């Protein structure tokens, strides 16, 4: 049963603490996205990777957010230091992008609900 797995599902932390969210993409997928769901922005793209290389992280606050793919089976999103305005649901999605743009849909994990108090 191929699926995107995100951990933790819920995280409550105090302002100023470091938060790490993890994502295991579907095996064989070469593209990984990080999104944040907010009421005002909908699904906001934070960063995405192709073949583990970061292609675009312009959606992330650079001073506190960082995204990495240490290997093909793990993507991480870190916030340091965290702030109350970071409270949201963070989604990871993976997909397969080829030269012909076939299989362009992305498959989402269940998300990490982050609350910063």
The residues of the shown chain that bind other proteins, judged by CB under 8 A, are: 4, 33, 35, 40-45, 48, 55-56, 91, 93, 95, 97, 101, 104-111
Q: In which element (H, E) is residue 39 found?
A: none
Nearer to other proteins, 73 or 103 (CB): 103
The least CB distance from residue 81 to other proteins, in Å, is 27
Q: Identify which of residues 45 and 74 has a Cβ nearer to other proteins in the complex.
A: 45
DSSP line for 12-33: EE-TT--EEEEEEPPTT--EEE
If the CB atoms of residues 57 and 68 are measured against other proteins, the closer one turns out to be 57
**Phi, psi dihedral angles at 36 (to 5 degrees):** -125, 130
């Amino acid at each position: 049963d191929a699926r995107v797995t995100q951990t933790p599902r819920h995280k409550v932390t105090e302002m100023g603490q470091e938060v790490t969210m993890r994502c295991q993409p579907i095996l064989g997928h070469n593209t990984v996205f990080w999104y944040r769901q907010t009421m005002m922005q909908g699904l906001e793209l934070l960063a995405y990777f192709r073949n583990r290389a970061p292609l675009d992280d312009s959606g992330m606050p650079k001073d506190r957010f960082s995204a990495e793919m240490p290997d093909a089976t793990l993507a991480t999103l870190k916030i340091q230091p965290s702030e109350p305005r970071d409270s949201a649901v963070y989604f990871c999605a993976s997909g397969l992008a080829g030269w012909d743009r076939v299989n362009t849909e992305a498959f989402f994990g269940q998300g990490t609900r982050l609350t910063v108090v």
